[in-house]
Structure formats: C-alpha cells, structure tokens
Structure 1
Amino acid sequence: MMNAQAISRQARLREISSALVIARRSASALPSFPGELPDSFDDAYAIQQLSRESWEDEVAGWKVGGVPPDFIDTFGETHLVGPIFAKSVKYVGPGESVDMPVFARAFGAIEPEFIVQLGETLAHDRLFIGAEIASSPLPAINDIGPIAVISDFGNNNGMIIGPEIVGWREHTVAPTLVACEIDDQQVGACEVRDVVGSVDQAIAFLLSHADRRRIEIPVGTYISTGAITGIHEAEAGASSRISFGDLGDFSLTLIEAPASQ
C-alpha cells in the first residue's frame, strides 16, 4: 500500500503527464513546464510512461539522444530515450521528399541520424539513413534540460526512414560525410568514421534502459541512434535536404502539426 507521500508524488506526475499530452493533442504551445520540474530521471521516465500509456498509438521505435555535458554530473547519465509512435514514422526513397509536422510557436528541429531496425540477431539488424524530427509544445524544452526532454516523449515528434544501407555489418562502411541544409543553407556537417560502433552503442544503451525499466523491445523495433550533425532548429514552412554522401539523400518540409494528430 502506498503512503501519503507516494500518492502525492504519483498525483503530481500524472498532472504533468496530462498537461503535456493535452498540449500535444491540441497542438498548443505551453508557456512553461507544467508544474514543478521533477528532480530525477526516475520521475521524468515515470511521466513518460504515463503519457505513453495514454497516447492512442503504438510505439514503433525509440530515440536515443545525448544528455548535454552540463547535466551529466548532476544526473549521472550520458544518454536518454523517448518513444517514437507508428503514425509519426514516414518512409522516403532516394531523392524523394516528405512532409513532417512540428508544433507551431513552440520547438522544432531536424536531426540527421542513422536508423536501425532490430532483427532476431545482430546479423539481421537493418540500417537506414534517416532523421529525427524533434518537436515539443515547450518552446524552451532544451534550455530547461533533460528532465523536460524525457518527460515530453524525449522531445520527439517523428522519424524519417530513408534508403537502406545493405550489408552494413558485413562490409565496412566508408567514412561518410553527413550534411544538413535548411532553406538552401548548410547548417551542419560531420564525417562519420565508425558507423557500426556508433550505432551499436545506441542499441546497447536502449536495451539496457529497457531492461532496467521492464520495457519490451520486440523484433522490428526502430532505433533513432543520435543526432549526427547537431540539433538544427526550424519552424513550419522550412525545407531541408539531408545528404549521407554515397549512401543517399532525401528532402523534407516541415508543416504545422494539426490538433489531435
């Protein structure tokens, strides 16, 4: 039986979760974090779980993101995770374009990433070029810090899965220059030299996190493995081209997220 303090904590976390979910469903910006900011990752993940359970969609994957250096000593974690829902996943072919929603008058960003789909064994894992669309009703979510990011679905609002990198484990992927343009201006570029190592690190972190928190990760789950060129803030109406060198490229346009998405 829970004591009064535990009941009060649970009620507080439910109120935060409810406010964040309502804001997402109504596509409404929030002026600040709803309620008192939790002081632990445990509480933030508890909020995330409550929100995930009330969201009317299936979890198709998870994003793995980095904890900003200024917060690592405080929380003792270098990475964080958030759910990616099936309706927010879009597929794009080589050179094609796709529309992706972000919250108006709030936070939106484009992040080129490698996307892995878990197979029955390591040999069956599939890898794609892609991107995470980060967006939250909280305009200052990243300034507030990782507690806010974790609480609000990891600051995720979509994932783009592009062309597959065939044989990525069997054949060494050459150093790959990843570049992101927004409205015809390059906003970030980075050469990735160890694709397998960086992807496997993200997989290991997610599986460890899921084991600690008793989250099922079935075969076929997608993992967005971390921003390669940075977090590139952008608003609805912006167009972007993302290039993974010889591995392919694709484009996207940010659109305003509708209510009840």
Structure 2
Amino acid sequence: MLDETPTPPGLAAIAAGFVQARARGQALAAFPGEIPADLVSGYRVQDAAIARWPDRVVGWKVGYIAAERRDASGDDRLLGPIFAGKLQPADPDGEVEFEIFAGGFGAVEAEYVLRLEADAPAGKLDWTPEEAAALPATLLIGVEVASSPLATINELGPRVVVSDFGNNNGLVLGPEIAGWTALDEADLIAETFIDGVSVGHGGAQRLPGGLRAAFAFALGRSARRGRPLKRGELVATGNATGIHDIAVGQSARVDFADHAGIRLRARAARPLPGAEDGA
C-alpha cells in the first residue's frame, strides 16, 4: 500500500515547487529546496507531486542510474510517471508536436514500450527478468519526451530526477512489435535524428540487461512503492539511442529499423488552464 504518513514539509515544498513550475510552463532557476538525501526521499517527493497533479498516471518511464550515482537502495534504475494528458499517438503521415520547458531541460529518447495485458500480482515485490518476460505484455515503439523546468536536472543526479516526475513530460506511442518474447533483442535497432542529423544509434541491446531487466525493475519497484502495475499500464524501458537534447522549434525523427518511424517537433510548454492561480 502507498505510504499514507504525512510528507515532511521540506519534501512537500519541493513537490509543490515542481508542480507549480510545470503547471505554469515555467523554468526554475534552481532546485526548489534541499536535494533529498536518498532515492526513498525522492520518491516521497514524487508521490506528493503525483497527488497534486491534475491528471492520472497511465505508465512509467525507466531511467538507468550509473554505478557511481547509486545510493544504499542498490537500485540501478529509477521510475517517473507518465500522465494520460501527455500520452500521444504517433502520426504515420506527419509530425507530432510535443512540449518542452523553454529555459529548462528538453530531450527526446527512443523507447521500447511495454503495455501490460494483465495485472501484476500485488504481493510480488521482487522480479527476475525471466519472470517479467512471462507476464503478458505487448511491445510497442515510442519516444519519451524528457523535459523538466530545471535545466540542470540530469547534472544534479538521480535523487533530483526522481523528485521531478523522473524528468518525463510525455510519451509518443507508436505501433506494436509483434511476438517480442521470441525476438532476438539484437534485431531491435533504432536511430535518432535531430533536424535531419543522426545523433544516436542503438536499440534494445543498449539497455543494460535488455528489455526484460528494465521491465523487472519497474514491476518490483512499483510494487514496493505500493503501486503494483495494472493491466493497460505502460513501461518505457529506457533510452535506446541516448538522451538527445532538443530545443523549441527543432524536429526529431526516430527510425525503428523494420518497425516504422516516429516524427516529432518541439514547442514551448503552455500553462495549464487556471495555473496562474496555483496548481
């Protein structure tokens, strides 16, 4: 179950700062408070921010944590929420516009996305990659919109990334890759272009441990947070070609080898209705 104990005031203030900046479409000059001491505290900020955000969670992005940046939890990855209002279908015939925070951080990431076709057992807190692969799920292609009001979010590290929705501001979802459990992940290849210039090449094998390891982490960490994954939820497994900075007005294209491509263009984040009154 979710931790229902009151959020410490300092952590609640961080959540409020990020939520207000996102709702207003504004950049932040600095982290809004004292950086949480560990990932557990970062997730408490994230949970408080999710509770304040006027939308529902439809999935989770997975990000990798470099060995030198991990804490006592031992987690080698982190989670951030994907909200319904920021989930967009790819357009096979044109570009999809997406929002980044002008003056903040903005990037695109090629993603292999799993959609659960059954609820995960609520009491199962630890998952192996093999167990994760056995849970019914559909594999799709996608592009994560990685954006935060805080320009230095990645430089400041995982505790900060977790605190601000995992540095996520949306997901553009493409078509299904059929029969994924029988595929060789070496054949899942992607390339990312910014304004027509190739900026990254990779695929599923670029993810440490592959798709199944990322899926297993999402299942386990979500369950331990009191948020076991449900049928229909999405898991964006991690950047398959790198994290590619993008500015307002620039275009991006991600080609997924034999599995189509996704075209996008960045625009500045706009305030939510009523955001001037506070979120």
Q: TM-score under structure 1 normalisation?
A: 0.91
Q: Please state how far the C-alpha of 1:77 moved relative to its aligned partner.
A: 2.1
Q: Structure 2 unaligned runs (5+)? A: 120-133, 274-279
The answer as to whether partners of 1:109 and 1:234 remain within 8 angstroms in 2 is yes
Q: 1 CA distance for matches of 2:257 and 2:165? A: 31
Report the 3-state secondary structure (helix = DSSP H, G, I; strand = E; otherwise coil) of the residue aligned with 1:81: strand
Instruction: Determine the structure 2 residue equivalent to 1:175.
Output: 187
Instruction: Determine the structure 1 residue equivalent to 2:18.
Output: 20
The answer as to whether partners of 1:126 and 1:166 remain within 8 angstroms in 2 is yes
Q: Please state how far the C-alpha of 1:168 moved relative to its aligned partner.
A: 1.7
Instruction: Determine the structure 1 residue equivalent to 2:130.
Output: none
- What CA RMSD, in Å, does the superposition of the two structures yield over aligned residues? 2.1
Opposite residue 15 of structure 2, the aligned amino acid is S
Instruction: Determine the structure 2 residue equivalent to 1:56.
Output: 54
Q: How does 1:72-91 map to 2 (within 5 A)?
A: 72=70, 76-91=74-89
Per-residue Cα deviation, 1:46-91 (whole angstroms, up to 9, x for no partner) = 0000000111101010001001333026663210001000000011
Q: Structure 1 unaligned runs (5+)? A: 1-5
Instruction: Determine the structure 2 residue equivalent to 1:164.
Output: 176
Report the 3-state secondary structure (helix = DSSP H, G, I; strand = E; otherwise coil) of the residue aligned with 1:117: strand
Report the 3-state secondary structure (helix = DSSP H, G, I; strand = E; otherwise coil) of the residue aligned with 1:116: strand
Q: 2 CA distance for matches of 1:143 and 1:219? A: 34
Q: TM-score under structure 2 normalisation?
A: 0.85
Residues 42 and 35 from structure 1, CA distance in 2 versus in 1: closer, same or farther, beyond 3 angstroms? same
Q: Please state how far the C-alpha of 1:176 moved relative to its aligned partner.
A: 3.1
Residues 243 and 86 from structure 1, CA distance in 2 versus in 1: closer, same or farther, beyond 3 angstroms? same
Instruction: Determine the structure 1 residue equivalent to 2:138.
Output: 126
- Which of 213, 233, 240 in structure 2 is aligned with 1:228? 240
Provide the aligned length of Structure 1 versus Structure 2. 254
Q: 1 CA distance for matches of 2:183 and 2:154? A: 37
Per-residue Cα deviation, 1:139-181 (whole angstroms, up to 9, x for no partner) = 1100111111000000000001111111222454661331000
Determine whether 1:43 maps to 2:41: yes
Q: 1 CA distance for matches of 2:219 and 2:187? A: 27
